[in-house]
Chains A and B, each alone.
Chain A
Amino acid sequence: MQMSPENQQVLEDCCPSIELWFAQSELQQLVVKAARGAGYCWSDAEEIGWAAAWLSKFGLPGGDFMLSLMQSNDLQAPRPATRCWKGNNHPLCPLRCGLALMDFAQLPEGLGASSLVIESVMGLPCLLPFAARTARQIQHPLQIQWEEQSLFLNQDAQPSLEINQVSMEFGKTVDVRITRSNSNMVSIETKNPQYCVGVSKQILEQLEAFAHQTLVPASDLSRLRAGGHDDPTS
């Protein structure tokens, strides 16, 4: 994207580094459009936008992770079953797993009384926001474990401070264990939300390129039908 000198000045004004600062809701709207432009249905795009905002609110690069999701192929939906969800020889999609986790949370195939393992999930960070919403939905804290790492999510959909330390890569496939936690979340410090989030110029350009696919090119007819017959001299 070629920036005008004016916009370059704007960028320098607002962003001393290469990052542009967004309100959380503004990033959410951009990611919704980008996801739709990348080919997701509007329902999924709304959820992806929301998830990007949640991650960013808690200090993770939500725009980056969701962009990676948009660029991924061959990710599968899970087959919900009691205690363990598997795929079919392909990595599972974190969006599909996350949405199913919420939807099945209070069904036998979901969290049940104890824990659930979701095998071979790609893009773990994209699953976390939905796990957080699941905790809020069932009004019970959850523990998320993968490899040697773990964090907690409380019933207000807030993560524990471990979210600052855990290592998460989108491209890695992991088995995730989600457990109804016995920990008293009151005693576990949660991460404070932030409502102004930085997005790098490179990520922004890619999101905007996807988002552009939702726009309709202008024409004389469309201009006319936009209703603009107003007389500006009156």
Chain B
Amino acid sequence: MKPIEQTVPARFYRSPSQVMRLTRMGCSHPTRLSFLRQLLRRLKKENWSFDRPVWQINRQGVGHAVYRAQGPERCYSLVAFAHDLPEEMRSDRVIATAWDATFTLFDGTPSTADIERLERNVPLQEAGRISAKELSLSRANRSVRLFEYVVKELAQGRQPERSRLEQTGYLMRTTAVYGTGKFGAADRSTLVNRPEMQAPFQAEMLSVWLTRAFTVDLVEHLAAEQGGVQAVKLDPTLRRLLGVGNSTGLGMAPFLVRHPVLIHHWFAAREEALARVRSQPKLAPATLDQFCEALREAQENAVQWQSEHPLQVAKLTELREGLRQLQAFVHEEWDTAQIYPWDVLWQWGERKLPIEAQEALLALLLEPHGELVDDLGDQMAIDEEVTFKVDGRQSIGELRKHLHSHFAWALGTDYQQPEQCARFWYVSEEKLEPRLGERHCEAGAEREQPLDIGRQVAELCDLLKEWSERIPVAHLLLLRPEFRSIVRRVQLSAHYPFAEIQDNLISAEMLPIDLLRSKLAFFGATRFDPRSDRWVRISLFQGEPYPDELNHADVS
């Protein structure tokens, strides 16, 4: 696949050096190109149907259920197992060994034998083994306070308080969602010809969306068991307030570094969308109305968005204040009759708003422009195999030119300074959890993962000083094969300018949650709530329709 082509004048684009910095990536907001939004649009457009053919859950809430999504050509089934988890075993950490519920997304409709096989394996998660018939493996824990409260209220015939639902935002939070190619699950290559699986992480998003339906069914089931005839179901309006929580740590950070070409496509698609909107010469009144409605919703969301972590508290303050300024400008100063009115608004935002609010503005600008930008969702996936290559003919001089053109951000740093190489990424023996160590006071740096891209580039730059301009790269790699990976990245940078995070990922100052937020925003996550600088809770599908509502809902 060719890199995404820029279709509008260059002045409407942001540069990779502006976009790919951690401080900005750590302010990312979900957009209409986010993967869960793409999923819902497709399911609605293609008129998918949903049912729950199996519900074998007992009075204690233990058992299994199957949720089926039937599309035009294929169906997928979430097989959910509900467990009786002792309080002392409940942990969101990857090193946990038991959970309130475990799940797999089955390719088709599972037979009784399939369910029996899955029942022996899925509850074990990483210690079990699934098969090529499955597309994901995940688990979730209850939000204990909210889950029990909602069951109790419904059992007594009352609806839960809206404010308590808003405060937590979910009944269960997933603590890991493994996708294709993990623990025996189907290889991603087997899905490439399925249109519904073209966009990134669609199997995982479908799994989480059906999990959300399961969490509500489970509280209603337990309420009915406890309250008998007086029990009521959750009001659909209140139900919408609930998403699926997700608690995640460093595990998802390395992905952004290990898939440079894929990441380029995510960011390039989003930036292309922004440029298309900015380059619109005129503004239609209906589009303006939709923008104002999206801004109002964003302000409401910013008020409901709670966090106690100091980093996020500061960002939320900036977001709320920035959105207030934006609203004032839109209603009082913005001349919508000017040529390129959206660009005028964007440029005002870049001058006046903090980064947190600038990135929110980006999401808001895309919101009323579905017809203009939604096709870019198709360009957010890539067959990485074809880019796994090195051009051995390229001269050292040419390589050096690319290195200085695209990696200037990496070359001004002295990686010998303790603070510039303070951290090292590694994989722990404990359930293969990715972790971040302190190089100067912690053991294990000799087993470092190669995520130190900036430092590798600087080492390559030093090496190239010893080589003559005209020699082909093939000769360099014959003698110094350890530089192959970084040479490939430098060569790729010429075609994929958004492939690299332009910051030192082993610096003492680096905040891993910036990486997490960026990736989670592409998923479509909201309510980003850090619990530390490397651990975060978010919500998925909050405010979106449930399967039984999809056909009548607005999922633009």
Contacts and interface: CB of A to CB of B under 8 A. Distances in A.
The reply to whether chain A is a binding partner of chain B is yes
Interface of A: 4, 6-7, 9-11, 13-14, 20-26, 29, 41-44, 46-47, 50, 77, 80, 96, 99-100, 102-107, 109, 133, 136-137, 193, 195-196, 212-219, 221-223, 225-234
Interface stretch (B104-112, B178-186, B200-208): B178-186
Given A10-B121, A25-B181, 18 more contacts: A7-B127, A9-B120, A10-B129, A23-B132, A41-B482, A42-B485, A46-B485, A99-B481, A100-B474, A193-B189, A196-B186, A213-B447, A215-B432, A215-B447, A216-B429, A225-B534, A226-B534, A231-B531
A9, A29, A228, A233 interface centre (most CB from chain B within 10 Å): A228
Given A14-B184, A46-B485, A21 B132 contact: yes
Interface string B123-146: 010011111100000000101110
Contact of A229 (B124, B435, B473, B532): B532
Given A21-B131, A24-B189, A225-B435, A43 B426 contact: no
A219 B430 CA distance: 9
B429 A217 contact: yes
B436 interface: yes
Given A24-B187, A218-B430, A233 B144 contact: yes
A146 B512 CA distance: 51
B168 to A, nearest CB: 8
A100 B132 CA distance: 35
Of all A-B residue pairs in the complex, the 3 with the closest CB atoms, nearest first, are A103-B392, A227-B534, A216-B444
Contact of A13 (B90, B129, B537): B129
Contact of B389 (A4, A133, A216, A217): A133
B74 interface: no
Given A10-B129, A103-B477, A234-B144, A229 B531 contact: yes
Interface residues of B, number: 74
B438 interface: yes
Contacts, number: 196
Contacts of A4: 127
B164 interface: no
B181 A23 contact: yes
A9 B472 CA distance: 54
Contacts of A9: 120
B93 interface: yes
Contacts of A6: 124, 127-128
A228 B249 contact: yes
B427 A214 contact: yes
A41, A213, A227 interface centre (most CB from chain B within 10 Å): A227
B443 A219 contact: yes
Contacts of B183: 26
Contacts of B117: 13
B484 A13 contact: no
Contact of A233 (B90, B433, B438): B90
B374 interface: no
B91 A232 contact: yes
A47, A104, A105, A230 interface centre (most CB from chain B within 10 Å): A230
B267 interface: no
Interface string B168-193: 00000000000011111111111000
Given A23-B185, A103-B478, A225 B450 contact: no
Contact of A99 (B250, B428, B484): B484
A104 to B, nearest CB: 5
B48 interface: no
Contacts of B477: 99, 103
Nearest to B532: A227
A23 B183 CA distance: 8
Contacts of B181: 23-26, 29
B534 A218 contact: no
A20 B129 contact: yes
B549 interface: no
A147 to B, nearest CB: 27
A215 B159 CA distance: 50
B247 interface: yes
Contact of B392 (A20, A106, A233): A106
A26 B179 CA distance: 11
